[in-house]
Amino acid sequence: MIGLPDGRRLEAQWWGPGPEAAPSLVLLHQGLGSVSFWGEFPARLAAATGCGVLAYSRLGYGQSDPRPLPWQPGYLHDEAQIVLPRLLDAAGVRRCVLLGHSDGGSIAAIHAGTVEDARVRGAVLLAPHFIVEEITRAGVQVARARWEASGRMRERLAPHHRDPDLAFHGWNDAWLDPGFADGFDLRPELAALRVPLLIIQGEADIYGTPEQLRIAERAAPALVETLLLPGIGHAPQEEAPEAVLAAVRGFLAKVLPPGPG
């Protein structure tokens, strides 16, 4: 566990070398994710890159301290601008690349576009959201229907979260809030980016279309590399791990010179 200045605690785990020995990859999980939800990916990422890998569960997720409901429409910005910098401080991170999946990708983009943080040398975004598309909202509504129809979804989340009801409703209620959908637009944050991005999306993603990639290519002044994977859905790191690992290795060779952390 990693403690924040306000006394709250975040579940966290390291793989590979510590920040004093090598650069770090900081993993930001998806809307229903946690440390354990990453599965074998962090270990494979550390082995493939030689970097240390830090994953943490956001407040309300995994074994981290709770975050009271309801989560306000700006909760992703709060994570990116307030919690993440404190987490990096507490973990002793020196040089890093942020790697976010889905909501975590959005958090990484917000941080890179709004926080002056010399530690962050780039960001890898897996299936991120920059705007709320119709397909995005429809996917969230399908998740709500499945949650309400049976207990199977709760059973699948229970091994990964101290309070699966909090994790689900925090995410789902926020994304279905009309104020969130109407106000969520990360193009200004992308326009302010000063670090390179690698964005990987599956062509069969049920939460977003390739327009998400095009938005970043048009808006960001920094280098943006995009990779669209045919036949892959919303979790490229699970469905096409070798392609993701290869792309990440190539990206890191450009943005993280070798050397100690």
| Tokens (6 digits) for 219 | 């808006």
Q: Which pLDDT score, from 0 to 100, does residue 147 have?
A: 96
For 205-229, the pLDDT digits (tens) are: 999 999 999 999 999 988 899 999 9
Q: What percent of the chain has pLDDT over 70?
A: 98
User: Predicted confidence band at 249 (pLDDT cuts at 50, 70, 90)?
Assistant: very high
Q: Which pLDDT score, from 0 to 100, does residue 182 have?
A: 84
231 backbone dihedrals φ, ψ, rounded to 5°: 75, 5
How far is residue 121's CA from residue 211's CA, in Å, rounded to a whole number? 25
Q: Which pLDDT score, from 0 to 100, does residue 199 have?
A: 98
Q: Which pLDDT score, from 0 to 100, does residue 221 have?
A: 86
Closest to 235 measured CA to CA, from 73, 46, 60, 39: 39
pLDDT greater than 80 at residue 257: no
The domain defined by 2-255 folds into Rossmann fold (3.40.50)
Q: Which pLDDT score, from 0 to 100, does residue 82 have?
A: 97
How far is residue 183's CA from residue 185's CA, in Å, rounded to a whole number? 6
Cβ proximity of 235 and 101 under 8 Å: yes
Residues counted in the chain: 261
How far is residue 234's CA from residue 159's CA, in Å, rounded to a whole number? 21
What DSSP character marks residue 16?
S
For 143-183, the pLDDT digits (tens) are: 999 999 989 999 999 999 999 999 999 999 999 998 888 88
Per-residue pLDDT, averaged over 182-203, amounts to 95
| Tokens (6 digits) for 96 | 């890093």
User: Predicted confidence band at 256 (pLDDT cuts at 50, 70, 90)?
Assistant: confident
pLDDT greater than 70 at residue 191: yes
How far is residue 205's CA from residue 208's CA, in Å, rounded to a whole number? 6
pLDDT greater than 80 at residue 261: no
How far is residue 87's CA from residue 106's CA, in Å, rounded to a whole number? 17
pLDDT greater than 80 at residue 259: no
How far is residue 208's CA from residue 100's CA, in Å, rounded to a whole number? 15
Note the pTM of the prediction, 2 decimals. 0.97
Q: Which pLDDT score, from 0 to 100, does residue 166 have?
A: 98
For 91-139, the pLDDT digits (tens) are: 999 999 999 999 999 999 999 999 999 999 999 999 999 999 999 999 9
